[in-house]
Structure 1
């Protein structure tokens, strides 16, 4: 066996003390002490990484059945995957992989009991990727912790368990890399969670809503994600993840504005392609926010800015429209919002078909009846498509509301109102903070090891 080839062995008491020091503030560590008359053994393992059936059947039950430490040790060594580590780093590395550390007298053994939850994992539904892993979180918090630890195998990943909700008693886990996370962010998070007074907590969205400051805002300052790979990437950048039982989403904090425009494909593509894709998303942001308001401003207030041919084209298209451009834009955008909500609420079997047919009939009939212009149909389609380019749905919803504010500004003040709205929006984003970190820190240095640089 491989364990017999080692010339030196770890001292059991020293190894135990070293492990307890390394695993400080790790909430999912399990320590089982086995006693049978004069015999004594100790098991140390990660609950989220080890199969409880294997641990109970092959380690705990066998200890009481064999009635001899010598026979028990020989039984454990009989497994091909059992090893006797020669150094402490090997001990920790195998624990993080899913091994149980077995202390028998002065011996330290590693028993392979890795837990694999492949059957419970479903593909991601709201954050799709073209390349890369396609698994997502489940509604079981233990499975979610297992998915993260399989990807982030270091003792620096700490886990703190808490309970929120007076009636629901919902379990949550705070995950962070102790060498990279900002302690001030952790303290603020613990404080806000302890002040959460809700009786029932059933989803990560409720915790996100109650812990974000200020609560009346248009843009999210925390991120919800269903992807373990995005969670691991953010933890490696010094951020904090919060897992919530009975929900398939994790909360990532602090979150900056740029995070909501980053897709996981950007990390897999070649750098120039990743930059191009992110640039496309920012262009889509300006199109979906400003295009309807610019249409109102150029049509009703400042037609002289456009070329004569474009001005005449718009005027000819609107010749049969009996009301101002403001009502035309609001009517079509609200119709688009109705179709979007219907596609979400209807059963999947008929939702897409009903919305496509409804959109075609509505657009064609409104144009032929002279209620809206042909250019307005093109504009609404462009706004709808560019709004869905934003990868994170939380930000996409905030952008959907923001464009109506710009339409109102364009209606009352024209192009000047749009310019003032852009300035006010930038000032508003600059004033926002996510757990004390500046929200509009656009270019975070992701390869730095300093947590305060990453968590902004």
Structure 2
């Protein structure tokens, strides 16, 4: 009997060793006199009410280990573990391991977070899961662990913000993660000096270097499926309480142009969709600047018919082309900002009607050309093709730099702007990873191993 108990003790120790650095594991010892029972489970995966009422309260109500043993084993869904791997697998699925003497049972107490979970709002997909993270850290952990049932998924908890003491969890796959990235992240979070942290974007802003940068080097996501995919690629995830977004790092330029539909569609279709997004990137950056360059500096590059068409369209416009472009782009920015800030009931209607009236009236008054209206619409549409809003904001700002260069230097300025942007992107690093690396991080990184 003692050998069996020794074996059960060894199994329990092995189980806890596998869950090392897993911050949401719980080991609860129930004892009355010499009688003891041990419960091992993941807090974010199990229903606390079920555990308390069916396992903890019953232990003290029955007041007898043999009766408690009979009570637990009498549940139809309860099974006795055959080996260690089965124990570990059931634990990761949300079951409670009940250790009574030399017996170890798997008690089903899975917590299903369904009522508080809503659909994704900023990262839409055509096919695939539609659920999004909530503002509860435990609920978000539950959603991730349901999709990533591996003992290698570690969770380390800490609090940030001097006044807010916001709870965060650092998630990573211990076999796939780059240890150097993990170490650098912990150092930056330890050195974070902020009184109140309430959102994921605040952590991104306070921890990333350089402070003044145009493009994000961390990715925010509200989708559990994207989060799990990035975990499997060896990235680190920071889950923050009180916000419905998580931080994925390191993030390279190509990550911001990848949608989850790319993983679901057939490979040629996924490549085509990504190519469309990069074409949209070039269009939204360069179309306004090219319009200024062609109309003010280099009309000879265009065909005669197109040059005459543009000239005829601008015959009534009283000011230079760059003023026309800035005026219309700022009007579009006002409409975009208004659509975000207005109440949802009237926002789409007000901005659509406002845009139509503004465009029609400006054209009829001769303040802008018809071609400019088409150009602004194309720029707005192509900017919205970018799947991650963090990157689209940076692109929206960058196009004004190209307009300024085109205003002073024509096509030569646009070429200089393209070279400068490539050099700037190449100089950025996301936790040591080159920002312009165009391929995903390998699943098993050799660096830092």
Q: TM-score per shorter chain, which class?
A: over 0.9
Q: Distance in 1 between matches of 2:84 and 2:218?
A: 38
Q: Distance in 2 between matches of 1:182 and 1:267?
A: 23
Contact 1:46 1:95 in 2 (8 A): yes
Inter-CA distance 233–452: structure 2 relative to 1 (3 Å threshold): farther
Structure 2 match to 1:175: 171
Structure 2 match to 1:133: 129
Matched, 1:118 2:108: no
Structure 1 match to 2:341: 345
Following TM superposition, by how much is the alpha carbon of 1:17 offset from its aligned partner in structure 2, in angstroms?
Answer: 1.3
Among 156, 161, 166, the alignment partner of 1:165 is 161
Matched, 1:106 2:115: no
Give the paired residue count. 445
* Deviation readout 1:57-82 (Å, 9 max, x if unpaired): 01101111111111101100111111
SS in structure 1 of the partner of residue 272 of structure 2 = helix
Matched, 1:449 2:443: yes
* Deviation readout 1:99-151 (Å, 9 max, x if unpaired): 11111111111111100011110000010111100000000000000000000
Residues 68-83 of structure 1: matches in 2 within 5 Å?
68-83=64-79
Q: Distance in 1 between matches of 2:294 and 2:119?
A: 45
Among 390, 395, 402, the alignment partner of 1:399 is 395
Q: Distance in 1 between matches of 2:365 and 2:347?
A: 27
Q: Distance in 2 between matches of 1:316 and 1:290?
A: 23
SS in structure 1 of the partner of residue 324 of structure 2 = helix
Among 259, 272, 278, the alignment partner of 2:274 is 278
Structure 2 match to 1:221: 217
Unaligned runs of 5+ in 1: 1-7
Following TM superposition, by how much is the alpha carbon of 1:451 offset from its aligned partner in structure 2, in angstroms?
Answer: 3.1
Residues 365-444 of structure 1: matches in 2 within 5 Å?
365-444=361-440
Residues 24-39 of structure 1: matches in 2 within 5 Å?
24-39=20-35
SS in structure 2 of the partner of residue 108 of structure 1 = strand
Q: Distance in 1 between matches of 2:225 and 2:408?
A: 46
SS in structure 2 of the partner of residue 102 of structure 1 = strand
Q: Distance in 2 between matches of 1:112 and 1:366?
A: 66
Matched, 1:46 2:42: yes
* Deviation readout 1:252-287 (Å, 9 max, x if unpaired): 000000000000111111111110000000000000
Inter-CA distance 439–431: structure 2 relative to 1 (3 Å threshold): same
Q: Distance in 2 between matches of 1:128 and 1:10?
A: 53
Q: Distance in 2 between matches of 1:278 and 1:10?
A: 57
Structure 2 match to 1:147: 143
* Deviation readout 1:236-257 (Å, 9 max, x if unpaired): 0000000000000000000000
Over aligned residues, Cα RMSD in angstroms?
Answer: 1.3
Among 151, 168, 191, the alignment partner of 2:187 is 191
Contact 2:25 2:40 in 1 (8 A): yes
Structure 1 match to 2:19: 23
Q: Distance in 1 between matches of 2:8 and 2:70?
A: 17
SS in structure 2 of the partner of residue 451 of structure 1 = coil
Q: Distance in 2 between matches of 1:182 and 1:338?
A: 43
Contact 1:225 1:249 in 2 (8 A): yes
Matched, 1:67 2:68: no
Structure 2 match to 1:325: 321
Structure 2 match to 1:4: none
Inter-CA distance 399–218: structure 2 relative to 1 (3 Å threshold): same
Q: Distance in 2 between matches of 1:443 and 1:369?
A: 50
Among 136, 152, 156, the alignment partner of 1:156 is 152
Following TM superposition, by how much is the alpha carbon of 1:452 offset from its aligned partner in structure 2, in angstroms?
Answer: 5.6
Q: Distance in 2 between matches of 1:214 and 1:42?
A: 50
Contact 1:11 1:108 in 2 (8 A): no
Inter-CA distance 416–385: structure 2 relative to 1 (3 Å threshold): same
Q: Distance in 2 between matches of 1:308 and 1:357?
A: 36
Following TM superposition, by how much is the alpha carbon of 1:424 offset from its aligned partner in structure 2, in angstroms?
Answer: 0.5
Contact 2:169 2:240 in 1 (8 A): yes
Among 310, 313, 317, the alignment partner of 1:314 is 310
SS in structure 2 of the partner of residue 277 of structure 1 = helix
Runs of 4+ in 1 over 3 A off after TM superposition: none
* Deviation readout 1:175-224 (Å, 9 max, x if unpaired): 00000000000110000101111111111111111111111011000000
Q: Distance in 2 between matches of 1:415 and 1:356?
A: 34
Unaligned runs of 5+ in 2: none
Following TM superposition, by how much is the alpha carbon of 1:362 offset from its aligned partner in structure 2, in angstroms?
Answer: 0.4
Structure 1 match to 2:255: 259
Which has the higher mean CA deviation after the structures are superposed, 405-414 or 98-107?
Answer: 98-107
Query: Scaled by the length of structure 2, what TM-score is found?
Result: 0.98
SS in structure 1 of the partner of residue 54 of structure 2 = helix
Contact 2:5 2:101 in 1 (8 A): no
